[in-house]
Amino acid sequence: MKHPKEERTLVLIKPDAIQRALIGEIVRRYERLGLKLIGLKMVVPTAEHVEGHYTLDPSWRKVTGEKTIASYRSRNLPPPSEDPLEITAKILKNLKKYLTSGPIICMVWQGAHAVELVRKITGGTEPRTSPVGTIRGDFVVDSYVMSDADDRAVRNLIHASGSISEAEMEIPHWFEKKELIDYKVTHEDILYEKELRGILP
């Protein structure tokens, strides 16, 4: 079994976050937690690559469509369609436009509970309802009301893997094995070693 400190997650800094000059702020938030950056690059993805990313999980279209219908109902609004797949097709079209509009930064972060902790720091999908203190809650104003009215993707600055199994599919979609660097940072001793040895002479 792998040690929990080996857990990895994928983060994409989306084009709007780069335009907002938030690269440093975003990296800082994951870094200061104690997570280790093991892969980093800037790319302009193709629409095919973005579609591939969102459809790595074959159930994504259905689940996201159903989630969106439920979110309209909870706001007492009629969903744009009763067909989850039709709804996701529209979301996907807009996501492709959004993510190919400029450069993005792809990162792999490693550390104990990396997937869960990165999601906690990142916040919920919709910035408007994302808690204060999260990246999506602190740095952007967007909402489903606005993005739906303009038929565009919700501008939420970041993608972060939603589960360990999602991360395991997403990381190889964006990185070759040789682009991920196995190395040690000295603070790992303080985070993970059983004994706090070597501090005092």
The residues annotated as belonging to the active site are: 159
Contact 176, 66 (CB under 8 A): no
CA Rg, the chain, in Å? 18
Say whether residue 61 binds ligand GDP (CB under 6 A). no
Farthest-apart Cα atoms in the chain, separation: 68
Cα separations in angstroms, 55 against 59, 88, 112, 148, 184: 8, 10, 27, 21, 33
Q: C-beta of 103: minimal distance to ligand GDP in Å?
A: 18
Write the CB contacts of 142 (distance below 8 Å, at least 6 apart in sequence): 126, 127, 128, 154, 155, 156
Work out whether the CA dihedral 166, 169, 174, 176 comes out positive or negative.
Answer: positive
Interface pick for ligand GDP out of 12, 121, 153, 171 (rule CB under 6 A): 153
Residue at 162: amino acid letter: G
* CB closer to ligand GDP, 71 vs 81: 71
Question: Looking only at residues 159 through 188 of this chain, which bind Mg ion when binding is defined by CB under 5 A?
Answer: 162
- Give the shortest CB-45-to-Mg ion separation in angstroms: 16
Show contacts with ligand GDP in window 77-96 (CB under 6 A).
91, 95
Nearest to Mg ion of 51, 188 (CB atom): 51
Site residues for ligand GDP, 108-147, by CB under 6 A, read 125, 144, 147
Only segment of 5-13, 18-26, 40-48, 66-74 that touches ligand GDP (CB under 6 A):
66-74
Residues found near ligand GDP in the complex (CB under 6 A): 64, 67-68, 71, 91, 95, 125, 144, 147-148, 153-154, 156, 159, 162
